[in-house]
Structure formats: structure tokens, C-alpha cells
Amino acid sequence: MATTGIMNGTLLGVYVGSTLVAHATEGSISLSMDTRDATTKDSSGYRDLLEGTRSGSISVSALYADDATYGVNALMTAFSNRSTLTVKFSTEVSGDDYWSATCYLTSLEVSAATEDNATYSASFEISGAVTFSTVA
């Protein structure tokens, strides 16, 4: 059954394939569209725009566990191989909406402060169209 009301952010996760990125603390998707300038002398001094290319990224931040099911080790392999990955931003709750796209892992950062949790973050750049659909 689909989630109702204002969604709790804890429900949304970043998945690579069908596997949730382990120990995530934060995730996001960002979509944008470039514009083309279509201003002419007929525009009365105002700028006219037309649509351009669309792009986007998906990112995740997590706590680092070397034995995670899908964590830094798997992401490092994908980065080293320059592999495309199917990345999904979803609750995986039947009836909820989700975003999915073919992506390249473009950034992987691991941080370790003294007497604090080791963390990592990863950014995925979308290549091609984004699927926006409903979890079956």
C-alpha cells in the first residue's frame, strides 16, 4: 500500500540495481534542464527561452562499514571499471513513486575524523532518460 501523507525521509533510499546502499544517512536526486536563448528583435527587450538538454544526479552519504552488503567496496569496483549502474531513488513500498536511471559513479569520497564515525559519499551522474514510475 502506498505511503500516505508527508513522507518520512527515512523511507527513501538509494539502490544500485536492486540493492540498497548500506548504512545510508542521506540520499537525493537532482534534475535540471538547460535552456536555449531564443531572443529576437521581436521579443520587445525580453529574453525568450526554449528547452534544452536535461541532466541530473543522484547522491548518497553513508556510514562506512568494510563488511557492508553494498558499500564502499562495491562502489570502488564500479568506479575502477567505469561501469554504468542502474541507480534508483525509492521507498520500494508498493504504490509509491520512484526515480531510476542509468548512471556513472563520478565521485566517491571517504572521510574519517578522530574518534568519529567513518563516512562516505557517492555521486552518480545520469546518462540518458530518467524513469519516473510507481513501485509495483
The three-state DSSP-derived secondary structure of 14-42 is: EEECCEECCCEEEEEEEEEEEEEECCCHH
27-63 tens-digit pLDDT? 999 999 999 999 999 999 999 999 999 999 999 999 9
Domain residue ranges of the chain, discontinuous segments joined by +: 11-27+60-134
* DSSP E strands, 64-136: 84-90, 97-111, 119-126, 131-134
74-125 tens-digit pLDDT? 999 999 999 999 999 999 999 999 999 999 999 999 999 999 999 999 999 9
Supply the pLDDT for residue 92. 97
How far the first Cα of the chain sits from its last, in Å, is 10
With vertex at residue 97, the alpha carbon angle to CA 84 and CA 94, rounded to the nearest 5 degrees, is: 105
In this structure, what is the dihedral angle of CA atoms 74, 80, 84, 90, given to the nearest 10 degrees?
30
Query: Which pTM was predicted?
Result: 0.92
| Closest by Cα among 80, 65, 60 to 20 | 60
